[in-house]
Structure 1
Amino acid sequence: MIRNILPTLLLGLTVIASTALPAAPVHSEDQKAEDQKPEQIHVRGSIVSYSGSALKVKTREGETVDVTLADGWKLASVANAAVTDIKPGDFVGIASLPSADGGDGALEVLIFPPAMKGAGEGSYGWDLKPNSSMTNATVADAVKGVDGRTVTVSYHGKEKTIAIPDGTPVVTIAPATKDDLVAGAVVFIPAEKAASGPLAHQVLVGKNGVVPPM
């Protein structure tokens, strides 16, 4: 069952803005279609209520929003993992910020299941914090350091080194059911911006004390 959920869910966990990548030449028809795509947004917060296709969320900014769940929407959760679980060859998603020493410091790490290896590969702007980025890439090596662990990841022939300080949230994808959509549960929702409010095809919900850190 989880394999049916994950490929769809991943679509919302990749890029929020294509401006982070060099623009490729496109035909006018392709550009017109691209321009007409709904704006992608992320809703982060806790559930106020859930009923049918309606999910009311109090966002981390303090606003209460009504999220409409699209037909066929998918649901998943996260489970705790450890930095020591990260091995060369793993495919990971790491949100990070530039650090004072010129490298990047991780804000959170998502270890993808093997079936999702390569999906959404790249490094993009991300909205977890100002100036943060999301890198979906394969771990080339993982080295234990004085302050946590440093990983070198590769994507599209490029490499990026990211420090993972001790205490950084590390999670993997886990199954969930609609019974997990209870008041107070923390959610991360990739959605389309619509006139009536966010329209979501996927929801990532926290359970068993583990919250989506992305």
Structure 2
Amino acid sequence: MRLSRSMSLVVGSLLLATSWAQAQDGQPARVRGTIAAVEGQTLSVTSREGPVVKIQMAPNVGLRGIKTAAASDIKPGDYVGVASAPASGSQPAGALEVLIFPAAMKGANEGSFPWDLQPNSTMTNATVSNAVENVSGRQLTLTYPTGSKTVSLPTNIPVVTFADASAADLKPGAPVFVPATKAPDGTLSTAFVVVGNQGVVPPM
């Protein structure tokens, strides 16, 4: 059976929702860097830490590009992933980046948990329950099953959403973010790759 384009996008987003959540279970190994080589299903990435890391991609690996969005695009009811720095005193946590998920991924790995974008950062995947503007900028209230969190969005932080991508986008020099799983023997595998195919480096 041949799927329509719209149905394919829904199925693809559901696959990504599953792989995004699974990649955070057990032993996560988030790889950020640029593609060094692609050999069959093996993706070699020059990581931001320096070493080249080899990752085995699933046969049906989900691929997504990344494109720029705007803080003004974020509205109540949206499902977002917000990496943030720790709160300071009475000030809310400051967002480091915002990913606006497609509707089909709502609920993927919902919650707030440690993240390694920078020291002591967290990732909050949640529904926006309130979005307001004030003299210090835009603030979001994020609600998830076990609580809520308010974050401020500094001017010019990356705000992105997913875009289409294909295997042709996995080429040397392309920036990637790979939420991988580390096996007991140290090998890495993934079902999901985010590639900067539109001139945007995946900021998560």
Q: TM-score, normalised by structure 2?
A: 0.88
* Counterpart mapping for 1:160-171 below 5 A: 160-171=149-160
| Aligned with 1:139 (options 128, 133, 137) | 128
Deviations 1:81-108 (A, max 9, x none): 1000001111111011113234211011
CA distance in 2, matches of 1:153, 1:86: 11
CA distance in 2, matches of 1:45, 1:90: 28
Identify the range of structure 1 (96-105 vs 186-195) with the bigger mean alpha-carbon deviation: 96-105
Cα drift, residue 12 of structure 1: 4.8
In the alignment, does 2:142 pair up with 1:153?
A: yes
2:107: which partner in 1? 118
1:45: which partner in 2? 33
Deviations 1:39-89 (A, max 9, x none): 221111100111211111100001111111122222111111100000111
Q: In structure 2, do the counterparts of structure 1 residues 56 and 173 end up closer, same or farther at CA, with 3 Å as the change threshold?
A: same
1:2: which partner in 2? 9
Percent of aligned pairs sharing the same letter: 47
Q: Which amino acid in 2 is paired with 1:53?
A: Q
Identify the range of structure 1 (112-121 vs 184-193) with the bigger mean alpha-carbon deviation: 112-121
Identify the range of structure 1 (52-61 vs 72-81) with the bigger mean alpha-carbon deviation: 72-81
Q: In structure 2, do the counterparts of structure 1 residues 118 and 196 end up closer, same or farther at CA, with 3 Å as the change threshold?
A: closer
1:203: which partner in 2? 193
In the alignment, does 2:161 pair up with 1:172?
A: yes
Cα drift, residue 120 of structure 1: 1.9
CA distance in 2, matches of 1:71, 1:98: 38
Is the 8 Å Cα contact of residues 17 and 125 (structure 1) preserved in structure 2? no
CA distance in 2, matches of 1:15, 1:132: 20
CA distance in 2, matches of 1:15, 1:104: 26
Cα drift, residue 157 of structure 1: 5.5
Is the 8 Å Cα contact of residues 2 and 174 (structure 1) preserved in structure 2? no
2:80: which partner in 1? 92
Q: Which amino acid in 1 is paired with 2:203?
A: P
> 3-state DSSP class of the match of 2:85?
strand
Q: Which amino acid in 1 is paired with 2:16?
A: L
CA distance in 2, matches of 1:191, 1:70: 11
CA distance in 1, matches of 2:168, 2:71: 30
Cα drift, residue 168 of structure 1: 0.9
Instruction: Report the aligned-residue RMSD.
Output: 1.9
> 3-state DSSP class of the match of 1:98?
coil
Deviations 1:134-189 (A, max 9, x none): 11111111111233311111111622110010111011111100111111111111
Is the 8 Å Cα contact of residues 64 and 165 (structure 2) preserved in structure 1? yes
CA distance in 2, matches of 1:196, 1:155: 33
Is the 8 Å Cα contact of residues 16 and 105 (structure 2) preserved in structure 1? no
For this pair of structures, how many residues does the alignment match? 195
Deviations 1:180-208 (A, max 9, x none): 11111111111121336311111111111
In the alignment, does 2:58 pair up with 1:70?
A: yes
Q: Which amino acid in 2 is paired with 1:58?
A: T
Q: TM-score, normalised by structure 1?
A: 0.84
Structure 1: runs of 5+ lacking an equivalent: 19-36
CA distance in 1, matches of 2:13, 2:51: 29
In the alignment, does 2:203 pair up with 1:213?
A: yes
1:29: which partner in 2? none
